[in-house]
Amino acid sequence: MRNTYIQEKVAKVILAIFTLLIVLVLFSILGGIFIKGLPALNWEILTQVPKGGYYFGKEGGILNAIIGSVYLAIGASLIAVVISVPTALFIHTYLFSFPNWQKRIRLCLDVLWGVPPIVYGAFGFNLMLFMGWPTSLLAAIITVAFLISPVMIRAMDESLQQVSHGLFESAVSLGFYKGEIGYKFLLRQTLPGVATAFLLALGKGIGDTASVLFTAGYTDYIPESLTEPAATLPLAVFFQLSSPIPEVKARAYAAAVVLTIIILTISISSRFISKKLSKNKIA
């Protein structure tokens, strides 16, 4: 008996150590980036686009990448919402009594969720050539919208699964159309879930590098229309890090700090929103 006791204690310690490792990695990531990036971060970097000689360590900043990322994220999330909300609702209204179809769609979403961003990037590139678009904000937005839609639908689907079947059934028997039930009841009932799904996808859209590598067409200017190329923050980190010039390298870390802060803000506000909104659900 005593033996099993010791075994349990030892096991517990080992498990705790491995768990601690994950926490340490998070702190090492955040700590490392902030320590290296904060000193390089200043007002100029945040408010200027690259000027002549920027890539040799001269003046300028990453405003082009910040604005580019914001445009890209907003555009892609809006398109993703237009695709995702109806799809998720369709699964739970018109396909309510077709579990086989629900299963197939979820399988498809699982596959799409697992497809690497770089493959979306290659597909986006092909699509862009096919449509005759230039490397542009538009091409990047479409690519990222494809990338994040499965994420959004899956998250919405999960929260829609929490809604009791009774709500749908009683709404049907009251004479509502299925689409009405979807948008008027189910959507409202799962608003916190939808909001977190949106933010989850937004975060993924802002942070992704590989998918826009082919399509965004990095530039030093702030895009003024959808057909102009755009820079993004992850790309700014990636490209500047490969520079041999220390000043430019430091700016990669500064851009990483900005990116990290944006991502953290999104993930914290998603928690906050889901807590706040779950208070005003119907029933």
Partner 1 sequence: MTITKRLSHEYLRKGWMQVALGIILLLPFAIGLSLLYKAWPLLAPSGLIDVLLGSEWSPMQGKFGLWPFISSSIIVSLMGLLFMVPVCLSAAIFITQFAPAWLARSLRSVIDILAGIPSVIFGLWGVMTIVPIVGDLATSYGAGNATGYSILAAGIVVSFSVMPFILNMLIELFESVSIELKESALSLGASYWQVIKDVIVRKLKPGIIASFTLGVSKAFGETIAVLMVVGNVVQVPKGLFSAGYPLPALLANNYGEMMTIPMYDAALMLSALILLIIVIFFNYIAHKVIRYYHARI
Question: Quick one: which H or E segment has residue 201?
Answer: helix 191-207
Between 13 and 282, CB nearer to partner 1: 13
Count the Cβ atoms, other than its own, within 10 Å of residue 32: 12
Structural tokens at position 276: 């706040």
For residues 7 to 46, the per-residue mask of contacts with partner 1, x marking binding by CB under 8 A and - elsewhere, is xx--xx-xxxxxx-xxx-xx-xx--xx--x----------
Does residue number 198 form part of the binding site for partner 1 (CB under 8 A)?
A: no
Phi, psi angles (nearest 5°) of residue 26: -60, -45
Which residues does 46 contact at the CB level (< 8 Å), separation at least 6?
61, 62, 63, 66, 258
Does residue number 206 form part of the binding site for partner 1 (CB under 8 A)?
A: yes
Any idea which residue has 């290296």 for tokens? 36
Does residue number 261 form part of the binding site for partner 1 (CB under 8 A)?
A: no
Between 150 and 193, CB nearer to partner 1: 150
Does residue number 207 form part of the binding site for partner 1 (CB under 8 A)?
A: yes
Give the three-class secondary structure for 132: coil
Does residue number 73 form part of the binding site for partner 1 (CB under 8 A)?
A: no
Site residues for partner 1, 93-122, by CB under 8 A, read 94, 105, 107-112, 114-122
Between 4 and 173, CB nearer to partner 1: 4
Site residues for partner 1, 139-178, by CB under 8 A, read 146, 149-150, 153, 177-178
Among candidate residues 120, 116, 204, the one with its CA nearest the CA of residue 155: 204
